[in-house]
Amino acid sequence: MDLTKEYPRSVHDKVLGVVQLARTVDKAKAAASGNIGEYHYNCPMDQAVFGFLGIDKDQLLDIIRASKSETEIETRLAPIVRKKSAAEIERWNDEWLNHRPEGPSLEAFLALREQVAPDRTDVVTWADLLDLDEKRAVPVRTLA
């Protein structure tokens, strides 16, 4: 994976049913091959998925380095993900995709949104903002 030439997968994309994991895997692949570009492996979003799964950045890098394909990566991740129930994964996915930034994260979020899409005040989550920043379509949302 060369993140100097392409984007990682969306936060919304799933590996083994878990959102954010596909993106973190892509960043780990790029970090392992020295092609991470402007991205940061082990950022707070990656750390959150590591915490949910009970692994750390080095464990995922070891899986990436030991695997020759996406299928092998998923095979090695499967026992880790299976430790979570379907309900835990569903709750994680829902909370992760709907969590709104707070504190210092909110300041960074608002600055990026102003730069990327100042007219999209309906975008209130990192998942949606990162998709906009990476030129993915984001539906207009009704704010509750």
Convert the pLDDT of each residue in 40-93 to its tens digit: 999 999 999 999 999 999 999 999 999 999 999 999 999 999 999 999 999 999
Q: How confident is the model at residue 4 (pLDDT cuts 50, 70, 90)?
A: very high
> Could you give the CA distance from residue 73 to residue 93 in angstroms, rounded to a whole number?
20
Structural domain boundaries, residue 38: 1-84
Q: Please tell me whether residues 51 and 122 are part of one structural domain.
A: no
- Contact (CB, 8 A) for 66 and 75: no
Query: Is 51 in the same domain as 108?
Result: no
97 C-beta neighbours (distance < 10 Å), count = 15
Q: Which of 7-11, 21-25, 102-106 has the lowest mean pLDDT?
A: 102-106
Side chain identity, residue 122: D
Pseudo-torsion of CA 39, 44, 50, 56, nearest 10°? Answer: 70
Q: Same domain, yes or no, for 75 and 105?
A: no
SS3 19: strand
Average pLDDT, the chain: 95
The total number of structural domains in the chain stands at 2
The reply to whether 72 falls in a domain is yes
**Residue 95 included in any domain:** no
User: Are residue 4 and residue 58 in the same domain, yes or no?
Assistant: yes
In a domain, 34, yes or no: yes
For residues 66 and 108, membership in a common domain is answered with: no
pLDDT at 144 over 70: no
105 in the same domain as 53: no
Same domain, 124 and 54: no
Where does the pLDDT of residue 104 fall: very low under 50, low under 70, confident under 90, or very high at 90 and above?
A: confident
What CA–CA distance (Å, rounded) separates 38 from 99? 24
Q: CA-to-CA distance for 135 and 104, rounded, in angstroms?
A: 25
pLDDT at 113 over 80: yes
What is the pLDDT at residue 137? 94
pLDDT of residue 141: 85
- Asked if residue 128 belongs to a domain, the reply is yes
